[in-house]
Amino acid sequence: MRAIPTLKISISGVRGVVGDSLTPAMLARFAEAFGTYVGSGAVVVGRDTRTSGEMVRQAVHAGLLSSGCRVIDLDICPVPTVQLAVRHRRAHGGIAITASHNPAEWNALKFVGADGLFLDAGQARELLDIYHQGEYVKVAGTEMRGVERMTNGLDLHIKAILDAVGPLPAGPRRLRVALDSCNGAGALIAPRLLESLGVDVVPINVTPNGLFPREAEPLPENLGALCEAVVASQCDVGFAQDMDADRLAVVSERGEPIGEDYTLVLATWYVLAKMEMGSDPVSGPGPFSGPVVVANLATTVAIDGLAARFGSRVVRSKIGEANVTDRMKIEKAVIGGEGNGGVIYPRINFARDSHVGMALILHLLAESGRTVSSLMADLPHYSMAKEKLTCPSNKIPEVLRAIRADFGHLPIDARDGIRVTLADGWFLVRGSNTEPIVRVVAEAGSETAVRRIIDDVLGRVARIVDAA
């Protein structure tokens, strides 16, 4: 069987296994290419807590400095902090050093433009062209600029959230929150933010040492310790982050994961409810005008049902933060995000931000006086399944062509993989931009129905992948 590649270069950035395909020389060259792309300006750099992070940071600094950039270094911080700092400092761009949900042996570079958003497809291709051509700006030692240590990045992030939503309203008692930061970058900021909001924090896995206490993706099967902590400490809610703290998963007061898709649904509920009350958190007091919510193609249709209650509509985008934010700008959306726990609230931070998600959901709980379970019971409920299969990148187009041919008689959205609308649900098949895998997502009205759909699709994909 063909070996699985340990390096992925795509419009999402570059990621690979440290000590194998991801070398200091390659990292420095990518940083040189980015420095050339941004015109040798100021570049914000931040990293997650992975044990390889310091090596990667040094290589990135070297590449940026050699291309004439001034480096603004945040050291360990969440990815959304990097994006916020780029805008705050009016930098020419940013580099976030993180492999997000990938295993511990991986690391990666994510590239941010001057607007604080990840590079879109066209911008990323331009950067990749510079990298592959190898024609980088180089400056002499006397012309090299310095490295500035920005020590207030986390304070800036917390202040932006509190300025927008404020602390929780006083109630008969303080909410209690269990927090699992996976020993990642969120461990440095999430406990401080939660305390500033006015809740009692029960922390687990908040030592920012990069040692993974669980699988990094905040999926239900990885949240056993958090569920136990919620029940044992009688918490009102549990929050789980990934290593770079852009994704958020929620556990109810019963110790039950509600599923990453419903993170965005709950956050959206709070924003739309405030707008309906005449307190538009985006444009200020004024008449309610039916705002737009943007969600990607793989997000639960429960958000459509919720939006309809408030006279709002959901616009779908391709998957990926850059695609969602692009669509949000076009639609002037009040909130948006992805079904992987990514909440984007432009009033605070035009980025997937788990800390913003926490603040919005806690305000929903505090101001409604309801529990997570009560809110969930009042939402449209669907069963969702997400699976993945290892697949060489060169076989992904063949997989998509076959799925399209098999289901061509049904409504299909081919903007990002193949999304098929069925009589009793929907499914999406797409190749990952970050790993050599095919992802399959399905949703239906019951667990039995969604398993039938996803098992059928997985079987079709597997036959193609395994074919010689």
SS3 label, residue 272? helix
pLDDT per residue of the chain (468 residues) written in tens, 0 to 9: 345 567 888 777 899 999 898 999 999 999 999 999 999 999 999 999 999 999 999 999 999 999 999 999 999 999 999 999 999 999 999 999 999 988 999 999 999 999 999 999 899 999 999 999 999 999 998 888 999 999 999 999 999 999 999 999 988 899 999 999 999 999 999 999 999 999 999 999 999 999 999 999 999 999 999 999 999 999 999 999 999 999 999 999 999 999 999 999 999 999 999 987 765 444 444 444 579 999 999 999 999 999 999 999 999 999 999 999 999 999 999 999 999 999 999 999 999 999 999 999 999 999 999 999 999 999 988 999 989 998 888 889 999 999 999 999 999 999 999 999 999 999 999 998 767 789 999 999 999 999 999 999 999 999 988 875
**What single-letter DSSP state applies at residue 143?**
G
Q: In sequence order, what E strands does 308-446 have?
A: 313-317, 335-338, 342-344, 383-390, 412-413, 418-422, 425-431, 437-444
Q: Which residue has the tokens 């098949």?
A: 429
Looking at the structure, do residues 349 and 255 belong to the same domain, yes or no?
yes
Where residue 81 sits, what CATH number does that domain have? 3.40.120.10
Looking at the structure, do residues 56 and 161 belong to the same domain, yes or no?
no
Looking at the structure, do residues 191 and 285 belong to the same domain, yes or no?
yes
Q: Which two tokens stand for residue 83?
A: 């994006």
CA–CA gap between residue 457 and residue 407 (Å, rounded)? 10
Task: Give the number of other CB atoms < 10 A from CB of residue 78.
Answer: 35
Among the listed residues 67, 100, 317, 383, the single catalytic one is 100
Residue that finishes a domain, picked among 354, 377, 400: 377
Looking at the structure, do residues 349 and 425 belong to the same domain, yes or no?
no
- Residue 100 designated active-site: yes
Domains contained in the chain, number: 3
Task: Give the number of other CB atoms < 10 A from CB of residue 145.
Answer: 15
CA–CA gap between residue 26 and residue 41 (Å, rounded)? 21
Looking at the structure, do residues 83 and 219 belong to the same domain, yes or no?
no
Q: Is residue 2 part of a domain?
A: no
Residue that finishes a domain, picked among 351, 377, 403: 377
Q: Is residue 98 part of a domain?
A: yes
Q: What is the pairing mode between strands 42-47 and 70-76?
A: parallel
Domain that holds residue 433: 383-466
Instruction: Return the bridge partners of 387, or none.
Output: 440
Task: Give the number of other CB atoms < 10 A from CB of residue 202.
Answer: 19
Q: Is residue 246 part of a domain?
A: yes
Nearest of 352, 345, 152, 347 to residue 242 by alpha carbon: 352
Looking at the structure, do residues 340 and 416 belong to the same domain, yes or no?
no
Looking at the structure, do residues 367 and 401 belong to the same domain, yes or no?
no
Residue that finishes a domain, picked among 317, 344, 377: 377
Q: Is residue 399 part of a domain?
A: yes
Nearest of 165, 140, 175 to residue 65 by alpha carbon: 140
Q: Is residue 289 part of a domain?
A: yes
- Do the beta carbons of residue 244 and residue 46 sit within 8 Å? no
Looking at the structure, do residues 14 and 124 belong to the same domain, yes or no?
yes
Q: Is residue 16 part of a domain?
A: yes
Q: Is residue 239 part of a domain?
A: yes
Looking at the structure, do residues 200 and 288 belong to the same domain, yes or no?
yes
What's the predicted TM-score (pTM) here?
Answer: 0.92
Cα→Cα distances 434→6, 10, 14, 76, 105, Å: 11, 7, 8, 22, 15
Looking at the structure, do residues 399 and 372 belong to the same domain, yes or no?
no
**What single-letter DSSP state applies at residue 349?**
B
Looking at the structure, do residues 138 and 108 belong to the same domain, yes or no?
yes
Where residue 419 sits, what CATH number does that domain have? 3.30.310.50
- Do the beta carbons of residue 101 and residue 217 sit within 8 Å? yes
Looking at the structure, do residues 238 and 336 belong to the same domain, yes or no?
yes
